[in-house]
Amino acid sequence: MARLLVGLVAVAVAFYVYALVDCILFARTGVRGLPKVAWVFIVLLFPVIGGILWFLIGRGRKSSKRQVQYRTVGPDDDPQFLGALRADPVSEAQLRELEQQFAENDDPDKRTDNGRSER
């Protein structure tokens, strides 16, 4: 019975040390749930339970270098999107026509006394 108790204590101490070192060395961006400092204190204060909680809840997955990491790019930062933008010739022609109409309507010689154009 004493050997079993010594063996369980040795396993608990090894798990405690492993969980504490893993918690301290783990990347801050991969930590879930609480801030990293809080997880270190939990593992320190509650040796076995804190380590179990760390591995179940707090420890996220390590990002491997082989994984492709996608990044969202806004349309104003995407060269392909910006290259696809062109001036619409129909819109440009319509804009010129409207400018001419406004220029003709804004002619002071065609205005009446009340400020409205004649028609």
Q: pLDDT by residue for the chain (119 residues), tens digit each? A: 888 999 999 999 999 999 999 999 888 888 888 888 999 999 999 989 999 999 898 887 765 555 566 777 677 777 777 777 766 667 778 888 888 988 888 766 665 555 555 55
**Residue 29, domain member (yes or no):** yes
For the question of whether the overall pTM of this predicted structure is more than 0.85, the answer is no
Q: Are 36 and 60 in contact (CB under 8 A)?
A: no
- How many domains does one find in the chain? 2
Look at residue 69 and tell me if it is in a domain: no
Phi and psi torsions of 111, nearest 5°: -85, 150
Whether 36 and 79 share a structural domain: no
Q: Hunting for tokens 């806004």 — which residue is that?
A: 74
| Assigned domain for 19 exists | yes
Identify whether residues 43 and 81 lie together within a single domain. Answer: no
Residue 9 sits in the same domain as residue 48? yes
Q: Could you give the CA distance from residue 8 to residue 14 in angstroms, rounded to a whole number?
A: 10
Count of CB atoms within 10 A of residue 54's CB?
23
The range of the structural domain enclosing residue 46 comes to 2-58
